[in-house]
Structure 1
Amino acid sequence: MIKLNDRISFDLFGNTAGISLVGASGMGKTTLLTYILLVASKIGAQILIIDVKRADLASLSEVLKNGEKVVAATADEACRLLRVSNNNLNRRFEKHHSSFGKNWKDYHLRPVIIVCDETSALMAEAGKNKAELIRLLRQIVLRGRQGGMFTILGSQRLEANVVDRSLTLQLGTRIVMGHADNDTYRMAYPTLGDMKLLPFVSNKPGHGLILSDSLTVDNQTLISETPQPFIAPNMAQVDVPYVLNELQKRADLGKFIDEPYWEY
Protein backbone atom coordinates (compact mmCIF):
# COMPACT_ATOMS: atom_id res chain seq x y z
CA MET A 1 0.00 0.00 0.00
CA ILE A 2 1.24 3.49 -0.89
CA LYS A 3 0.21 5.72 2.01
CA LEU A 4 -0.22 9.29 0.78
CA ASN A 5 -1.30 10.63 4.17
CA ASP A 6 -3.10 9.48 7.32
CA ARG A 7 -6.38 9.05 5.43
CA ILE A 8 -5.58 8.01 1.87
CA SER A 9 -3.62 5.12 0.40
CA PHE A 10 -3.73 2.94 -2.70
CA ASP A 11 -2.45 -0.49 -3.67
CA LEU A 12 0.36 -0.12 -6.18
CA PHE A 13 0.02 -3.82 -7.00
CA GLY A 14 -3.78 -3.98 -7.00
CA ASN A 15 -6.14 -4.34 -9.94
CA THR A 16 -4.25 -1.80 -12.01
CA ALA A 17 -1.55 -1.81 -14.64
CA GLY A 18 0.06 1.26 -13.12
CA ILE A 19 -0.22 5.01 -12.61
CA SER A 20 -0.60 8.08 -14.76
CA LEU A 21 0.78 11.11 -12.94
CA VAL A 22 0.34 14.56 -14.49
CA GLY A 23 0.84 18.13 -13.37
CA ALA A 24 2.60 21.36 -14.20
CA SER A 25 6.32 21.76 -13.61
CA GLY A 26 7.11 22.32 -9.94
CA MET A 27 3.94 20.72 -8.59
CA GLY A 28 5.75 17.73 -7.07
CA LYS A 29 5.46 14.93 -9.65
CA THR A 30 9.07 13.78 -9.29
CA THR A 31 8.89 14.03 -5.50
CA LEU A 32 5.81 11.80 -5.41
CA LEU A 33 7.41 9.38 -7.89
CA THR A 34 10.46 9.19 -5.64
CA TYR A 35 8.33 8.48 -2.58
CA ILE A 36 6.52 5.67 -4.41
CA LEU A 37 9.86 4.17 -5.46
CA LEU A 38 11.14 4.20 -1.88
CA VAL A 39 8.02 2.44 -0.60
CA ALA A 40 8.27 -0.16 -3.38
CA SER A 41 11.98 -0.67 -2.70
CA LYS A 42 11.18 -1.46 0.91
CA ILE A 43 9.44 -4.66 -0.16
CA GLY A 44 12.13 -5.51 -2.72
CA ALA A 45 10.56 -4.41 -6.00
CA GLN A 46 12.83 -4.13 -9.03
CA ILE A 47 13.06 -0.46 -10.00
CA LEU A 48 13.53 0.61 -13.64
CA ILE A 49 13.80 4.31 -14.49
CA ILE A 50 13.46 6.34 -17.70
CA ASP A 51 14.46 9.99 -17.20
CA VAL A 52 15.47 11.75 -20.41
CA LYS A 53 15.67 15.04 -18.52
CA ARG A 54 18.82 13.56 -16.95
CA ALA A 55 17.65 14.92 -13.60
CA ASP A 56 17.10 13.50 -10.09
CA LEU A 57 15.77 10.08 -11.03
CA ALA A 58 18.49 9.52 -13.64
CA SER A 59 21.10 10.17 -10.92
CA LEU A 60 19.83 7.11 -9.03
CA SER A 61 21.81 4.97 -11.48
CA GLU A 62 24.68 5.49 -9.05
CA VAL A 63 22.68 3.84 -6.26
CA LEU A 64 20.56 1.15 -7.90
CA LYS A 65 22.10 -2.27 -8.45
CA ASN A 66 23.17 -2.58 -12.12
CA GLY A 67 22.35 1.11 -12.42
CA GLU A 68 23.75 1.42 -15.91
CA LYS A 69 21.27 -1.22 -17.08
CA VAL A 70 18.16 -0.26 -15.09
CA VAL A 71 18.27 3.52 -15.65
CA ALA A 72 17.75 5.04 -19.12
CA ALA A 73 18.66 8.68 -19.80
CA THR A 74 18.18 8.75 -23.60
CA ALA A 75 15.52 7.54 -26.02
CA ASP A 76 17.87 4.83 -27.30
CA GLU A 77 18.50 3.61 -23.76
CA ALA A 78 14.76 3.72 -23.04
CA CYS A 79 14.10 1.51 -26.07
CA ARG A 80 16.69 -0.98 -24.88
CA LEU A 81 15.28 -1.01 -21.34
CA LEU A 82 11.70 -1.54 -22.52
CA ARG A 83 12.80 -4.15 -25.03
CA VAL A 84 14.57 -6.15 -22.32
CA SER A 85 11.63 -5.67 -19.95
CA ASN A 86 9.20 -6.97 -22.53
CA ASN A 87 11.43 -9.98 -23.18
CA ASN A 88 11.60 -10.65 -19.44
CA LEU A 89 7.82 -10.47 -19.21
CA ASN A 90 7.53 -12.94 -22.10
CA ARG A 91 9.85 -15.35 -20.30
CA ARG A 92 7.78 -15.06 -17.14
CA PHE A 93 4.63 -16.04 -18.99
CA GLU A 94 6.43 -18.92 -20.72
CA LYS A 95 7.78 -20.22 -17.41
CA HIS A 96 4.79 -19.63 -15.15
CA HIS A 97 1.55 -20.57 -16.84
CA SER A 98 0.73 -23.97 -15.36
CA SER A 99 -2.43 -23.00 -13.47
CA PHE A 100 -5.43 -21.14 -14.85
CA GLY A 101 -6.20 -17.86 -13.08
CA LYS A 102 -2.91 -17.49 -11.23
CA ASN A 103 -0.80 -14.34 -11.37
CA TRP A 104 2.66 -13.18 -10.34
CA LYS A 105 1.81 -13.18 -6.61
CA ASP A 106 0.81 -16.85 -6.71
CA TYR A 107 4.21 -17.73 -8.23
CA HIS A 108 6.12 -15.48 -5.75
CA LEU A 109 7.65 -13.39 -8.52
CA ARG A 110 9.49 -10.16 -7.78
CA PRO A 111 7.37 -7.12 -8.73
CA VAL A 112 8.85 -4.69 -11.26
CA ILE A 113 8.12 -0.98 -11.52
CA ILE A 114 8.95 0.97 -14.67
CA VAL A 115 8.97 4.73 -14.09
CA CYS A 116 9.02 7.29 -16.89
CA ASP A 117 9.47 10.67 -15.24
CA GLU A 118 8.57 12.86 -18.25
CA THR A 119 6.82 10.86 -20.93
CA SER A 120 6.21 13.80 -23.25
CA ALA A 121 9.93 14.67 -23.20
CA LEU A 122 10.77 11.04 -23.99
CA MET A 123 8.44 10.97 -27.00
CA ALA A 124 9.70 14.34 -28.22
CA GLU A 125 13.27 13.03 -28.18
CA ALA A 126 12.41 9.59 -29.54
CA GLY A 127 12.45 10.38 -33.27
CA LYS A 128 12.57 7.10 -35.20
CA ASN A 129 12.26 5.22 -31.89
CA LYS A 130 8.81 6.59 -31.06
CA ALA A 131 6.80 3.82 -32.74
CA GLU A 132 8.84 1.13 -31.01
CA LEU A 133 8.60 2.88 -27.63
CA ILE A 134 4.81 3.06 -27.88
CA ARG A 135 4.57 -0.55 -29.07
CA LEU A 136 6.71 -1.81 -26.17
CA LEU A 137 4.87 0.31 -23.59
CA ARG A 138 1.55 -0.98 -24.86
CA GLN A 139 2.64 -4.61 -24.57
CA ILE A 140 3.97 -4.10 -21.05
CA VAL A 141 0.97 -2.11 -19.81
CA LEU A 142 -1.62 -4.50 -21.27
CA ARG A 143 0.05 -7.62 -19.85
CA GLY A 144 1.98 -6.28 -16.89
CA ARG A 145 -0.64 -6.56 -14.15
CA GLN A 146 -0.82 -10.33 -14.44
CA GLY A 147 2.96 -10.66 -14.86
CA GLY A 148 3.96 -8.35 -12.00
CA MET A 149 5.29 -5.47 -14.09
CA PHE A 150 3.76 -2.06 -13.37
CA THR A 151 4.20 1.20 -15.28
CA ILE A 152 4.18 4.77 -13.97
CA LEU A 153 3.91 7.45 -16.65
CA GLY A 154 4.62 10.99 -15.47
CA SER A 155 4.14 14.07 -17.63
CA GLN A 156 2.93 17.65 -17.62
CA ARG A 157 0.15 16.38 -19.90
CA LEU A 158 -0.57 12.91 -21.29
CA GLU A 159 -2.30 13.91 -24.51
CA ALA A 160 -3.26 11.45 -27.23
CA ASN A 161 -0.45 12.73 -29.45
CA VAL A 162 2.04 11.80 -26.71
CA VAL A 163 0.71 8.39 -25.68
CA ASP A 164 -2.31 6.60 -27.13
CA ARG A 165 -5.43 6.97 -24.98
CA SER A 166 -6.12 3.24 -25.19
CA LEU A 167 -2.87 2.78 -23.29
CA THR A 168 -3.25 5.44 -20.59
CA LEU A 169 -6.80 4.33 -19.82
CA GLN A 170 -5.33 0.99 -18.71
CA LEU A 171 -3.52 2.77 -15.87
CA GLY A 172 -6.04 2.38 -13.08
CA THR A 173 -4.52 4.93 -10.71
CA ARG A 174 -4.66 8.51 -12.01
CA ILE A 175 -3.13 11.46 -10.19
CA VAL A 176 -3.18 15.15 -11.09
CA MET A 177 -0.88 17.44 -9.10
CA GLY A 178 -1.85 21.07 -8.44
CA HIS A 179 -4.28 22.97 -10.67
CA ALA A 180 -4.84 21.82 -14.26
CA ASP A 181 -7.04 22.87 -17.16
CA ASN A 182 -10.30 21.10 -17.94
CA ASP A 183 -8.81 19.14 -20.84
CA THR A 184 -6.21 17.63 -18.51
CA TYR A 185 -8.87 16.72 -15.96
CA ARG A 186 -11.06 15.16 -18.67
CA MET A 187 -8.15 13.04 -19.89
CA ALA A 188 -7.31 11.94 -16.35
CA TYR A 189 -10.90 11.36 -15.17
CA PRO A 190 -13.01 10.63 -18.26
CA THR A 191 -15.88 9.05 -16.30
CA LEU A 192 -16.45 12.06 -14.05
CA GLY A 193 -18.58 13.97 -16.53
CA ASP A 194 -19.14 17.27 -14.76
CA MET A 195 -15.81 18.95 -13.95
CA LYS A 196 -17.63 21.06 -11.34
CA LEU A 197 -17.70 17.94 -9.13
CA LEU A 198 -13.91 18.04 -8.73
CA PRO A 199 -12.86 18.75 -5.13
CA PHE A 200 -10.85 21.92 -4.54
CA VAL A 201 -7.07 21.51 -4.51
CA SER A 202 -4.53 24.21 -3.63
CA ASN A 203 -2.12 25.03 -6.41
CA LYS A 204 0.87 24.19 -4.24
CA PRO A 205 3.60 21.55 -4.63
CA GLY A 206 2.48 18.22 -3.21
CA HIS A 207 -1.26 18.92 -3.44
CA GLY A 208 -3.24 16.75 -5.83
CA LEU A 209 -6.22 14.61 -6.75
CA ILE A 210 -6.21 10.81 -6.98
CA LEU A 211 -8.65 8.32 -8.47
CA SER A 212 -7.76 4.65 -8.22
CA ASP A 213 -9.45 1.27 -8.51
CA SER A 214 -7.58 0.32 -5.32
CA LEU A 215 -8.16 3.44 -3.22
CA THR A 216 -8.54 3.29 0.56
CA VAL A 217 -9.94 6.27 2.48
CA ASP A 218 -10.12 6.14 6.29
CA ASN A 219 -9.38 2.39 6.17
CA GLN A 220 -12.33 1.77 3.86
CA THR A 221 -12.10 0.70 0.22
CA LEU A 222 -13.59 3.50 -1.85
CA ILE A 223 -15.31 2.78 -5.14
CA SER A 224 -16.03 6.17 -6.61
CA GLU A 225 -15.80 8.12 -9.84
CA THR A 226 -14.85 11.28 -7.93
CA PRO A 227 -11.12 11.91 -7.35
CA GLN A 228 -10.00 12.45 -3.76
CA PRO A 229 -7.78 15.37 -2.66
CA PHE A 230 -4.51 14.64 -0.86
CA ILE A 231 -1.23 16.22 0.19
CA ALA A 232 1.78 14.04 -0.65
CA PRO A 233 4.47 13.28 1.97
CA ASN A 234 7.11 15.96 2.40
CA MET A 235 10.44 14.58 1.15
CA ALA A 236 12.49 17.74 1.66
CA GLN A 237 14.53 16.31 4.52
CA VAL A 238 15.01 12.83 3.02
CA ASP A 239 18.43 11.85 1.69
CA VAL A 240 16.95 9.80 -1.15
CA PRO A 241 20.13 8.09 -2.46
CA TYR A 242 21.14 7.04 1.06
CA VAL A 243 17.66 5.78 1.99
CA LEU A 244 17.27 3.93 -1.31
CA ASN A 245 20.64 2.25 -0.84
CA GLU A 246 19.71 1.14 2.69
CA LEU A 247 16.31 -0.15 1.61
CA GLN A 248 17.91 -2.24 -1.13
CA LYS A 249 20.33 -3.75 1.38
CA ARG A 250 17.57 -4.65 3.82
CA ALA A 251 14.95 -5.91 1.35
CA ASP A 252 14.21 -9.62 1.72
CA LEU A 253 14.62 -10.89 -1.83
CA GLY A 254 14.58 -14.48 -0.60
CA LYS A 255 10.77 -14.42 -0.58
CA PHE A 256 10.82 -14.22 -4.39
CA ILE A 257 11.63 -17.21 -6.55
CA ASP A 258 14.87 -17.29 -8.52
CA GLU A 259 14.52 -16.26 -12.18
CA PRO A 260 17.80 -17.20 -13.88
CA TYR A 261 16.40 -16.19 -17.29
CA TRP A 262 15.99 -12.56 -16.13
CA GLU A 263 18.12 -9.89 -17.83
CA TYR A 264 19.30 -6.84 -15.80
Structure 2
Amino acid sequence: MKIKKERKRKYISHSALFSYQEASDKIIIYAIKTGDSYSDRITKMDVELSALLNLPLEEKIDRPAVCEYHYFLKRPKRLNVISNTLAEVNESLNINLGYGVIYEPVKTPHILIAGGTGSGKSIFISYLLLEFLKQNSSVYIIDPKNSDLGSLSHYIGEERVATTANNIARVVRLAVTEMKERYDYMNKNFKYGSNFSDHGYKPIWVIFDEMGAFQASGTDKQSKAVVGEVMDGIKQIILLGRQAGVFILIAAQQMRSEILSTDLRDNLGLRISLGSNSAEGYRMVFGSATPETIPPIEVKGSGLLYMQGSGKESAQYWESPFVDMQNFDFITELKKYC
Protein backbone atom coordinates (compact mmCIF):
# COMPACT_ATOMS: atom_id res chain seq x y z
CA MET A 1 0.00 0.00 0.00
CA LYS A 2 1.45 3.32 -1.11
CA ILE A 3 1.12 6.27 1.16
CA LYS A 4 0.76 9.55 -0.70
CA LYS A 5 2.83 12.35 0.69
CA GLU A 6 0.80 15.46 1.22
CA ARG A 7 2.28 18.45 -0.53
CA LYS A 8 3.04 21.39 1.66
CA ARG A 9 1.16 24.48 0.68
CA LYS A 10 2.57 27.94 1.12
CA TYR A 11 0.33 30.69 2.30
CA ILE A 12 1.00 34.41 2.02
CA SER A 13 0.22 35.69 5.48
CA HIS A 14 1.21 39.30 4.81
CA SER A 15 2.70 41.40 2.02
CA ALA A 16 3.55 44.95 1.08
CA LEU A 17 0.59 46.99 -0.11
CA PHE A 18 0.80 49.45 -3.01
CA SER A 19 -1.65 51.53 -4.98
CA TYR A 20 -1.16 54.14 -7.65
CA GLN A 21 -2.72 57.21 -9.21
CA GLU A 22 -2.04 58.27 -12.78
CA ALA A 23 -2.50 61.77 -14.21
CA SER A 24 -1.66 63.21 -17.62
CA ASP A 25 1.87 64.19 -16.63
CA LYS A 26 2.77 62.04 -13.62
CA ILE A 27 2.20 58.80 -11.79
CA ILE A 28 2.12 58.50 -8.00
CA ILE A 29 2.90 55.20 -6.30
CA TYR A 30 1.49 54.87 -2.78
CA ALA A 31 3.34 52.48 -0.49
CA ILE A 32 0.86 51.80 2.32
CA LYS A 33 2.24 51.27 5.82
CA THR A 34 0.52 48.64 7.94
CA GLY A 35 2.94 48.43 10.85
CA ASP A 36 4.42 45.11 9.73
CA SER A 37 7.98 44.21 8.74
CA TYR A 38 7.51 45.75 5.30
CA SER A 39 6.63 49.23 6.54
CA ASP A 40 10.24 50.34 6.85
CA ARG A 41 11.41 48.68 3.63
CA ILE A 42 8.75 50.26 1.41
CA THR A 43 10.02 53.74 2.29
CA LYS A 44 13.41 52.96 0.73
CA MET A 45 12.41 51.78 -2.72
CA ASP A 46 13.47 54.83 -4.75
CA VAL A 47 15.88 52.91 -6.99
CA GLU A 48 13.71 49.80 -7.40
CA LEU A 49 10.58 51.73 -8.43
CA SER A 50 12.54 54.01 -10.76
CA ALA A 51 13.96 50.93 -12.46
CA LEU A 52 10.54 49.28 -12.65
CA LEU A 53 8.90 52.32 -14.23
CA ASN A 54 12.00 53.49 -16.11
CA LEU A 55 11.25 57.00 -14.84
CA PRO A 56 13.25 59.43 -12.68
CA LEU A 57 11.90 60.13 -9.21
CA GLU A 58 10.43 63.63 -8.95
CA GLU A 59 9.57 63.63 -5.25
CA LYS A 60 9.19 61.28 -2.31
CA ILE A 61 6.86 62.20 0.55
CA ASP A 62 7.06 59.99 3.62
CA ARG A 63 3.83 60.38 5.60
CA PRO A 64 2.85 58.51 8.81
CA ALA A 65 0.53 56.08 7.03
CA VAL A 66 1.84 56.11 3.46
CA CYS A 67 4.97 56.84 1.47
CA GLU A 68 4.33 58.60 -1.84
CA TYR A 69 6.64 58.24 -4.85
CA HIS A 70 6.01 60.86 -7.55
CA TYR A 71 7.27 60.22 -11.09
CA PHE A 72 7.02 62.47 -14.15
CA LEU A 73 5.54 60.73 -17.17
CA LYS A 74 6.54 63.73 -19.24
CA ARG A 75 9.31 66.13 -18.26
CA PRO A 76 8.44 69.85 -18.07
CA LYS A 77 9.92 72.01 -20.80
CA ARG A 78 12.90 74.25 -20.21
CA LEU A 79 12.20 77.88 -21.05
CA ASN A 80 14.17 79.08 -24.07
CA VAL A 81 14.94 82.81 -23.85
CA ILE A 82 14.98 84.64 -27.18
CA SER A 83 15.50 88.27 -28.12
CA ASN A 84 12.54 90.37 -29.20
CA THR A 85 12.69 93.45 -31.38
CA LEU A 86 10.60 95.55 -29.02
CA ALA A 87 10.63 95.81 -25.25
CA GLU A 88 8.19 93.48 -23.51
CA VAL A 89 5.90 94.53 -20.70
CA ASN A 90 4.75 92.16 -17.99
CA GLU A 91 1.67 93.62 -16.32
CA SER A 92 1.52 90.62 -14.00
CA LEU A 93 3.46 90.40 -10.75
CA ASN A 94 4.40 86.81 -11.59
CA ILE A 95 7.56 85.56 -13.32
CA ASN A 96 7.83 82.49 -15.53
CA LEU A 97 10.89 80.47 -14.50
CA GLY A 98 10.23 77.69 -16.99
CA TYR A 99 10.19 73.98 -16.29
CA GLY A 100 6.62 74.30 -15.01
CA VAL A 101 7.42 76.91 -12.34
CA ILE A 102 5.65 80.27 -12.05
CA TYR A 103 7.09 82.45 -9.31
CA GLU A 104 4.72 84.75 -7.39
CA PRO A 105 6.74 87.18 -5.22
CA VAL A 106 3.64 88.45 -3.42
CA LYS A 107 2.90 84.94 -2.12
CA THR A 108 6.49 83.75 -1.69
CA PRO A 109 8.68 86.83 -1.30
CA HIS A 110 12.46 86.96 -1.76
CA ILE A 111 14.90 84.70 -3.59
CA LEU A 112 18.00 82.78 -2.56
CA ILE A 113 20.37 81.48 -5.26
CA ALA A 114 23.42 79.37 -4.52
CA GLY A 115 25.83 78.13 -7.14
CA GLY A 116 29.53 77.92 -7.81
CA THR A 117 31.58 78.83 -10.85
CA GLY A 118 30.12 77.42 -14.05
CA SER A 119 26.74 76.59 -12.49
CA GLY A 120 24.81 79.15 -14.56
CA LYS A 121 24.10 81.42 -11.57
CA SER A 122 25.18 84.66 -13.28
CA ILE A 123 23.14 83.96 -16.41
CA PHE A 124 20.06 83.17 -14.33
CA ILE A 125 20.44 86.38 -12.30
CA SER A 126 20.75 88.32 -15.58
CA TYR A 127 17.51 86.70 -16.77
CA LEU A 128 15.74 87.68 -13.54
CA LEU A 129 17.02 91.25 -13.81
CA LEU A 130 15.40 91.58 -17.23
CA GLU A 131 12.18 90.08 -15.89
CA PHE A 132 12.12 92.59 -13.03
CA LEU A 133 12.57 95.47 -15.47
CA LYS A 134 9.78 94.14 -17.70
CA GLN A 135 7.49 94.66 -14.71
CA ASN A 136 8.71 98.26 -14.42
CA SER A 137 10.33 97.41 -11.09
CA SER A 138 12.90 99.63 -9.43
CA VAL A 139 16.13 97.65 -9.16
CA TYR A 140 19.12 98.10 -6.86
CA ILE A 141 22.25 96.04 -7.54
CA ILE A 142 24.91 95.17 -4.95
CA ASP A 143 28.07 93.56 -6.28
CA PRO A 144 30.94 93.64 -3.75
CA LYS A 145 33.26 91.81 -6.16
CA ASN A 146 32.64 94.51 -8.79
CA SER A 147 32.17 91.93 -11.54
CA ASP A 148 29.59 91.85 -14.34
CA LEU A 149 26.67 93.17 -12.29
CA GLY A 150 28.78 96.05 -10.98
CA SER A 151 29.45 97.23 -14.52
CA LEU A 152 25.72 97.72 -15.10
CA SER A 153 25.95 101.12 -13.40
CA HIS A 154 26.58 102.49 -16.93
CA TYR A 155 23.00 101.55 -17.84
CA ILE A 156 20.98 101.40 -14.62
CA GLY A 157 22.65 104.40 -13.00
CA GLU A 158 25.45 104.77 -10.47
CA GLU A 159 23.00 105.67 -7.71
CA ARG A 160 21.38 102.21 -8.04
CA VAL A 161 24.51 100.06 -8.33
CA ALA A 162 26.94 99.63 -5.44
CA THR A 163 30.29 97.85 -5.27
CA THR A 164 32.02 99.44 -2.25
CA ALA A 165 31.03 98.96 1.39
CA ASN A 166 29.82 102.53 1.95
CA ASN A 167 27.84 102.57 -1.28
CA ILE A 168 26.31 99.21 -0.41
CA ALA A 169 25.17 100.65 2.91
CA ARG A 170 23.74 103.67 1.06
CA VAL A 171 21.78 101.52 -1.40
CA VAL A 172 20.32 99.31 1.35
CA ARG A 173 19.42 102.45 3.30
CA LEU A 174 17.57 103.79 0.25
CA ALA A 175 15.59 100.57 -0.16
CA VAL A 176 14.65 100.47 3.54
CA THR A 177 13.61 104.13 3.46
CA GLU A 178 11.38 103.53 0.43
CA MET A 179 9.84 100.55 2.21
CA LYS A 180 9.02 102.62 5.29
CA GLU A 181 7.61 105.47 3.19
CA ARG A 182 5.32 103.00 1.44
CA TYR A 183 4.08 101.65 4.76
CA ASP A 184 3.41 105.21 5.97
CA TYR A 185 1.36 105.94 2.86
CA MET A 186 -0.54 102.64 2.98
CA ASN A 187 -1.36 103.13 6.65
CA LYS A 188 -2.72 106.63 5.94
CA ASN A 189 -4.75 105.25 3.03
CA PHE A 190 -5.68 101.97 4.65
CA LYS A 191 -7.41 99.28 2.60
CA TYR A 192 -8.08 96.01 4.35
CA GLY A 193 -6.22 93.11 2.74
CA SER A 194 -4.39 95.35 0.28
CA ASN A 195 -0.73 95.33 -0.69
CA PHE A 196 1.60 97.65 -2.57
CA SER A 197 0.07 97.06 -6.01
CA ASP A 198 -3.38 98.12 -4.77
CA HIS A 199 -1.85 101.52 -3.98
CA GLY A 200 -0.23 101.94 -7.38
CA TYR A 201 3.29 100.90 -6.39
CA LYS A 202 5.58 98.77 -8.53
CA PRO A 203 7.98 96.19 -7.04
CA ILE A 204 11.40 97.16 -5.74
CA TRP A 205 14.12 94.52 -6.07
CA VAL A 206 17.48 94.49 -4.32
CA ILE A 207 19.89 92.11 -6.04
CA PHE A 208 22.71 91.24 -3.62
CA ASP A 209 25.35 89.12 -5.33
CA GLU A 210 28.16 87.41 -3.39
CA MET A 211 26.91 88.33 0.07
CA GLY A 212 29.66 86.21 1.60
CA ALA A 213 32.35 88.35 -0.06
CA PHE A 214 30.77 91.48 1.38
CA GLN A 215 30.66 90.10 4.92
CA ALA A 216 34.30 89.04 4.63
CA SER A 217 35.18 92.70 4.03
CA GLY A 218 34.42 93.50 7.68
CA THR A 219 37.98 93.31 8.97
CA ASP A 220 38.16 96.24 11.39
CA LYS A 221 35.86 98.11 13.72
CA GLN A 222 34.67 100.62 11.13
CA SER A 223 34.07 98.12 8.32
CA LYS A 224 32.36 95.71 10.71
CA ALA A 225 29.98 98.51 11.69
CA VAL A 226 29.10 99.03 8.01
CA VAL A 227 28.53 95.30 7.53
CA GLY A 228 26.32 95.28 10.62
CA GLU A 229 24.24 98.19 9.33
CA VAL A 230 23.77 96.54 5.94
CA MET A 231 22.77 93.19 7.43
CA ASP A 232 20.28 94.92 9.71
CA GLY A 233 18.72 96.56 6.65
CA ILE A 234 18.61 93.24 4.81
CA LYS A 235 16.86 91.68 7.79
CA GLN A 236 14.21 94.43 7.74
CA ILE A 237 13.57 93.88 4.04
CA ILE A 238 13.28 90.10 4.45
CA LEU A 239 10.87 90.33 7.37
CA LEU A 240 8.82 93.39 6.37
CA GLY A 241 9.20 93.90 2.64
CA ARG A 242 6.46 91.70 1.18
CA GLN A 243 3.41 93.90 1.72
CA ALA A 244 5.28 97.03 0.67
CA GLY A 245 6.58 95.30 -2.46
CA VAL A 246 10.25 95.48 -1.51
CA PHE A 247 11.96 92.19 -2.31
CA ILE A 248 15.51 90.90 -2.17
CA LEU A 249 17.48 88.40 -4.21
CA ILE A 250 20.50 87.03 -2.33
CA ALA A 251 23.17 85.08 -4.22
CA ALA A 252 26.25 83.33 -2.92
CA GLN A 253 28.49 80.44 -3.88
CA GLN A 254 27.84 78.74 -0.54
CA MET A 255 25.02 79.83 1.74
CA ARG A 256 26.62 79.22 5.12
CA SER A 257 24.79 80.08 8.32
CA GLU A 258 27.45 82.72 9.06
CA ILE A 259 26.35 84.53 5.90
CA LEU A 260 22.63 84.32 6.57
CA SER A 261 21.03 82.82 9.66
CA THR A 262 18.75 79.84 9.17
CA ASP A 263 15.80 81.87 10.51
CA LEU A 264 16.25 84.50 7.79
CA ARG A 265 16.98 81.84 5.17
CA ASP A 266 13.65 80.17 5.89
CA ASN A 267 11.92 83.50 5.17
CA LEU A 268 13.19 83.44 1.59
CA GLY A 269 10.25 82.01 -0.35
CA LEU A 270 12.13 80.81 -3.42
CA ARG A 271 15.39 78.91 -2.88
CA ILE A 272 17.54 77.56 -5.69
CA SER A 273 20.81 75.64 -5.77
CA LEU A 274 22.38 75.53 -9.23
CA GLY A 275 24.94 72.92 -10.20
CA SER A 276 26.06 69.98 -8.09
CA ASN A 277 26.48 70.51 -4.37
CA SER A 278 27.44 68.54 -1.30
CA ALA A 279 24.85 67.14 1.08
CA GLU A 280 25.81 69.84 3.56
CA GLY A 281 25.62 72.50 0.84
CA TYR A 282 22.05 71.48 0.02
CA ARG A 283 21.09 71.57 3.69
CA MET A 284 22.47 75.10 3.99
CA VAL A 285 20.14 76.19 1.17
CA PHE A 286 17.02 74.12 1.80
CA GLY A 287 17.16 73.10 5.46
CA SER A 288 14.33 70.68 6.21
CA ALA A 289 13.24 70.86 2.54
CA THR A 290 16.39 69.03 1.41
CA PRO A 291 15.29 65.89 -0.51
CA GLU A 292 16.42 62.48 0.70
CA THR A 293 17.55 61.50 -2.78
CA ILE A 294 19.46 64.03 -4.90
CA PRO A 295 18.84 63.56 -8.65
CA PRO A 296 21.77 63.79 -11.09
CA ILE A 297 22.65 67.41 -11.91
CA GLU A 298 24.25 67.15 -15.33
CA VAL A 299 22.76 69.93 -17.48
CA LYS A 300 24.38 73.37 -17.11
CA GLY A 301 21.89 75.68 -15.47
CA SER A 302 20.06 72.84 -13.74
CA GLY A 303 19.79 72.24 -10.02
CA LEU A 304 17.23 72.01 -7.24
CA LEU A 305 14.40 74.45 -6.56
CA TYR A 306 12.14 74.85 -3.55
CA MET A 307 9.23 77.28 -3.49
CA GLN A 308 7.15 77.74 -0.35
CA GLY A 309 3.44 77.19 -0.84
CA SER A 310 3.91 75.16 -4.01
CA GLY A 311 2.60 71.97 -2.40
CA LYS A 312 6.03 70.36 -2.64
CA GLU A 313 7.57 69.26 0.63
CA SER A 314 11.14 69.19 -0.61
CA ALA A 315 13.30 70.77 -3.31
CA GLN A 316 12.77 69.46 -6.86
CA TYR A 317 14.96 69.04 -9.90
CA TRP A 318 14.68 72.10 -12.14
CA GLU A 319 16.34 73.62 -15.19
CA SER A 320 16.77 77.39 -15.34
CA PRO A 321 15.77 79.33 -18.49
CA PHE A 322 18.19 78.63 -21.32
CA VAL A 323 19.99 81.69 -22.67
CA ASP A 324 22.19 81.17 -25.73
CA MET A 325 24.82 83.82 -24.97
CA GLN A 326 26.25 83.44 -28.49
CA ASN A 327 23.04 84.77 -30.00
CA PHE A 328 21.52 86.73 -27.10
CA ASP A 329 22.96 90.18 -26.44
CA PHE A 330 22.17 90.90 -22.80
CA ILE A 331 23.27 94.55 -22.90
CA THR A 332 21.14 95.25 -25.97
CA GLU A 333 18.16 93.72 -24.16
CA LEU A 334 18.93 95.69 -21.00
CA LYS A 335 19.01 99.01 -22.86
CA LYS A 336 15.39 98.47 -23.93
CA TYR A 337 14.30 98.86 -20.31
CA CYS A 338 16.72 101.47 -18.97
Indicate whether 1:61 and 2:149 are aligned: no
Equivalent pair of 1:4/1:230 in contact (CA under 8 Å):
no
Matches within 5 A, 1:94-243: 94-97=184-187, 98-126=190-218, 127-128=223-224, 129-192=226-289, 195-202=291-298, 204-213=299-308, 222-235=310-323, 236=325, 237-243=327-333
- Do 1:12 and 1:18's aligned partners in 2 also have CA atoms closer than 8 Å? no
Higher Cα Rg: structure 1 or 2? 2
**Structure 2 counterpart of 1:15, one-letter code:** K
How many residues get paired? Answer: 236
The separation in 2 between residues aligned to 1:81 and 1:124, in whole angstroms, is 19
> What secondary structure sits across from 2:139 in the alignment?
strand
Distance 1:50 1:121 in 2: 11
2:97 and 2:180 map into 1 onto residues whose CA distance is 33
Structure 2 residue matching 1:142: 3-state secondary structure = helix
Query: Aligned letter for 1:196?
Result: E
- Contact map agreement 2:106 2:243 (CA 8 A) in 1: no
Deviation at 1:199, TM superposition (A): 2.9
Task: Give structure 2 stretches of 5+ with no counterpart.
Answer: 1-93
* Identical-residue share of aligned pairs (%): 28
Which secondary structure state, in structure 2, belongs to the residue aligned with residue 88 of structure 1? helix
TM-score normalised according to structure 1 size:
0.84
User: Cα offset for 1:189?
Assistant: 1.8
More helix by share: 1
Moved over 6 A (4+): none
Runs of 5+ in structure 1 lacking a partner?
Answer: 215-221, 249-264
In the alignment, which of 143, 154, 161 is matched to residue 51 of structure 1?
143
CA distance in 1, matches of 2:265, 2:167: 22
Partner of 2:100: 8
Could you list the per-position Cα deviations for residues 97-152 of structure 1 after superposition, in whole angstroms to 9, with x for gaps in the alignment? 21232111211201011001111011112432121111110001111111101100
Deviation at 1:25, TM superposition (A): 1.8
Give the whole-Å Cα distance in 1 for the aligned partners of 2:268 and 2:117.
22
Distance 2:166 2:230 in 1: 9
Query: 1:69 Cα shift?
Result: 0.6
